[in-house]
């Protein structure tokens, strides 16, 4: 149990376009999901906490207008990177909280 | 916020060797987890261990909450143990340490 999926697993896009990443808890309901970003050879940095039915809570330094988070159901949270630029290229990982946090497989984003 | 430090940052082992990874944290926590990030980036839960000792096969972990540290023991290491080991602490939200990058050579 406690499986979290992400889609897509990787995406390449042109600068200026928007990209949506989905995070799903497959076998449990999660009122809280989290979005992290990881640059090469670095640790995971929390971007935001996604709460079902309410606005996301963003960490300091994360632009809420650039990284739009929607948690429309108890099994789905989405992260939309708007007007993506090359510096947004990274590995984005979501997690869903049950008794502990369970992590998705991540999405590699490359912005050209 | 809470600070999490892991040591060593890099570790190279010969297959069959044992190792100890350390995680120090700066404040009291009610959640501490150890993860293994495989070469494809997937984070695998190893232990949820806010205190005490747990064992799972060749892996075991001990957290001494009063002294604010946790240890992850890997015995008889295998090449498949290679990857990055993270500890993460917190309550509702997790703060990750910098990780220990482990390479096990055959």
- Each residue's pLDDT tens digit, A55-104: 899 999 999 999 999 998 999 999 999 999 999 999 999 999 988 889 99
Q: Per-residue pLDDT averaged across B20-25, rounded?
A: 98
Residue B66 phi/psi, 5-degree rounding, is -65, -25
**A43: nearest CB among B33, B42, B97:** B97
Per the CB < 8 Å rule, is A91 touching B41?
yes
**B96: nearest CB among A32, A44, A49:** A44
Q: Per-residue pLDDT averaged across B20-45, rounded?
A: 94
Radius of gyration of chain A measured on its C-alpha atoms: 13
Q: Coil, strand or helix: which one is B80? A: helix
Specify the length of chain B in residues: 106
Interatomic CA distance for residues B73 and B55, integer angstroms: 9
Confidence of residue B29 (pLDDT cuts 50, 70, 90): confident
Q: What is the pLDDT of residue A98?
A: 86
Q: What is the pLDDT of residue B1?
A: 87
pLDDT digits (tens, 9 = 90+) for B44-87: 999 999 999 999 999 999 999 999 999 999 999 999 999 999 99
- Please tell me if residue A110 touches chain B, with a CB cutoff of 8 Å: no
Q: Coil, strand or helix: which one is A16? A: coil
Interatomic CA distance for residues A94 and B5, integer angstroms: 22
Q: What is the pLDDT of residue B105?
A: 97
Q: What order of strands is seen across the sheet that includes strand B59-64? A: B4-7, B19-25, B69-74, B59-64, B52-56
């Amino acid at each position: 149990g406690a499986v979290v999926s992400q889609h897509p697993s990787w995406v390449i896009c042109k600068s200026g376009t928007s990209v949506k990443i989905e995070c799903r808890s497959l076998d449990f309901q999660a009122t809280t999901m989290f979005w992290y970003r990881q640059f090469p050879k670095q640790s995971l940095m929390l971007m935001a906490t996604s709460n079902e039915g309410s606005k996301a809570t963003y960490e300091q330094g994360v632009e809420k207008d650039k990284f739009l988070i929607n948690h429309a159901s108890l099994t789905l949270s989405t992260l939309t990177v708007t007007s993506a630029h090359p510096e947004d290229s990274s590995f984005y990982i979501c997690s869903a909280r049950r008794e502990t946090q369970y992590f998705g497989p991540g999405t590699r984003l490359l912005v050209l | 916020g809470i600070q999490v430090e892991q040591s060593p940052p890099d570790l190279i082992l010969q297959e069959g060797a044992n190792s100890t990874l350390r995680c120090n944290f700066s404040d009291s926590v009610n959640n501490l987890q150890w993860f293994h990030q495989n070469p494809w980036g997937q984070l695998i839960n190893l232990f949820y261990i806010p205190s005490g000792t747990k064992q799972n096969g060749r892996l075991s972990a001990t957290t001494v909450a009063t002294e604010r540290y946790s240890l992850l023991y890997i015995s008889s290491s295998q090449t498949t143990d290679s990857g990055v080991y993270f500890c993460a602490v917190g309550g509702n939200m997790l703060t990750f340490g910098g990780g220990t990058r482990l390479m096990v050579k055959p």
